[in-house]
Amino acid sequence: MADTHKEWLAQLEAESRVKQEAFMNDIASKLGRARVTEKPAQPYRGAPDFWQAFEWPLEERIERFTENFQAAGGYVARLSSMEDVKQFIVNKAQEMSVKYIIRQNQSELDALDLEGVLKGTSVSVWNRDPENHWKARAAEADFGIVMADYATAYTGSMTVLSSRDKGRSVSLLPTVLMAIIPVERLKTRLGETLVDFDRDRTGSENLPAGIHFISGPSRSADIENDLTIGVHGPGIVYALIVG
């Protein structure tokens, strides 16, 4: 019997290691080979070269993104111009009797002039009035409108960055999300998006306040495995591919 607490712990560890060795040797014996005791050499660091060079043509990117995004419960519309985007949003707002819209403070969205077109619908621009309670405004909004910074065909996901003029609440809190994707921002692989977060950034202080990957509406099944839509974010998400 060990005389001290320290000796007792050392004895337990030694016994445990003996049992571990016996267990691993038994597995190797049943596999019919010697035990591997050195970590194997890894031929690649990060993605292999063939994956770095993998790229779909534009039309296939659009097709694959559409298939994957819709499979996750989202909606996709292919539109020719920002004027078509404007008309699409106006039609949906009228169809759903939308009363309140919040959007990012972006010049591309300024050009839509939704405020002048949607009569009877309030349109607010994130952080344009610093005294407003913007999270509360976003939570009560029917539509949130954002410009996606990136989109990935292989995963069917959009990437939305947040900043002073692009509050994360605009994409997370409204009932319906309208995300506009300029077609040149639609990439094949997620790595084409992630590489930009490392390039020319010397530290975490240069990263956006939030990096959000959106693949359709909010889905939660962590309560008794019951799938529920729209618990932690918009229940309806439109990806509007333009150009």
Q: Alpha-carbon distance 104 to 170, whole Å? A: 7
Is residue 104 a contact partner of residue 167, using CB atoms and an 8 Å limit? yes
Per-residue pLDDT reduced to its tens digit, 185-216? 999 999 998 888 776 555 566 778 889 999 98
* Beta pairing class for 150-152 and 157-162: antiparallel
Taking the C-alpha atoms of residue 113 and residue 83, their distance in angstroms, rounded to an integer, is: 10
pLDDT of 10-50, one tens digit each?
A: 999 999 999 999 999 999 999 998 888 888 887 777 778 88
Q: What is the pTM of this model?
A: 0.78
